[in-house]
Copies of this chain bind each other. A is one copy, B any other.
Amino acid sequence: MLLYVYLIAITAEAMSGALAAGKRNMDLFGVALIAFITALGGGTVRDILLGNFPVGWTQHPGYIYLTIGAGLFTMLVARFMHHLRQLFLLLDAMGLIAFTVIGCDVALKLGYPLPVVVMAGVITGIFGGILRDILCNRLPQVLRHELYASVSLLVALLYLSLRHLGVDEDLNLLASFAAGLVLRLAAIRWHWSLPVFSYAPGRWNG
């Protein structure tokens, strides 16, 4: 089950990368590269940080084709994408949760301490989007808008807590996805966001 959700997730992330590249008037190659990095960059950063070689996608060339294909396909259908906006946000939320759970699992298997496991989940969830925004020369959106990175953090904590309590894996996945989706979609619907820190040093304290 998680594999199918993962394939949907990297497809949705690749499409979000392609749209960001389109906003910057990138060429075909730029669209393909940013789609690829948005979809698989989070897992890549996690694998490198954890010393987990070979990096995941290098053993699954199909993921390369899928994400690049999704990016190029997005160029063709971009003009119709706003009709699918609701669906797209749903898939993106499912991707965020799937990435988070998979990231935790990888770090758990490698025997890292619990706080590192949580960070591995969150990094897998959000770093694709952060790399996308760095390449598109804009501030990381995931650190500023409606609850997004926080959903990843809460899903990681919930998933690991239920796991610690011995809850059946399938049930755990179901609960984590349900809680994460409800939280993320509610955040979009009612514009929930974290407090913002605005620091504007005056002239006298530079």
Contact = CB atoms under 8 A, between A and B. Distances in A.
Interface string A42-76: 00100011110111001101001100000000010
A107 to B, nearest CB: 9
Nearest to A61: B115
Contact of A195 (B28, B44, B113): B28
A149 interface: yes
A197 B26 contact: yes
- Highest count of chain B CB atoms <10 Å: which of A26, A49, A113, A199: A199
A199 B29 contact: no
Contacts of A34: 143
A158 B143 CA distance: 40
A: interface residue count bin: 35 or more
A136 B136 contact: no
Nearest to A204: B82
A144 interface: yes
Contacts of A54: 50-51, 112
A101 B149 CA distance: 34
Contacts of A53: 50-51
A115 B64 contact: yes
A50 to B, nearest CB: 7
Contacts of A75: 197
Interface string A120-139: 00000000001000111111
B116 A27 contact: no
Given A78-B199, A134-B134, 10 more contacts: A22-B197, A23-B200, A27-B195, A27-B196, A29-B143, A34-B143, A49-B58, A50-B58, A51-B54, A85-B206
7 contacts: A22-B199, A26-B144, A27-B143, A30-B144, A58-B112, A59-B113, A137-B139
